[in-house]
Amino acid sequence: MRSFSVNSAKTYLGKNVNLHLTDGAVIVNVYLSRLHQGAGKNTKQIEYYPTNHQSNRIPLKAVAYAIPLNSALMQTST
């Protein structure tokens, strides 16, 4: 399986997604904010914000794919 690419990551920037990792784990409901270039070759990272508003980074090659979330379904009515 090919890893998550820079071009596909760019399409999800500014959106809430579920990140499916290559090891089978899922990071649920995160906001993808921006891409970072790491120290070496092919070390690009994506920055995301989970619900606690503290940024985290993960290497792009660790992400298998992302599924966008429908924000209309996540809104609660009061």
* Residue 74: predicted pLDDT: 61
Domain ranges for the chain: 6-74
31-38, long-range: CB within 8 Å, 24+ apart, which pairs?
32/66, 35/6, 35/9, 35/10, 35/60
Q: What is the mean pLDDT of each run of 10 residues along the chain (78 residues)?
A: 78 93 93 86 87 86 91 60
Indicate the pTM of the whole model.
Answer: 0.81
- CATH class of the 6-74 domain in this structure: mainly beta
pLDDT of residue 3: 62
What was the pLDDT predicted at 46? 93
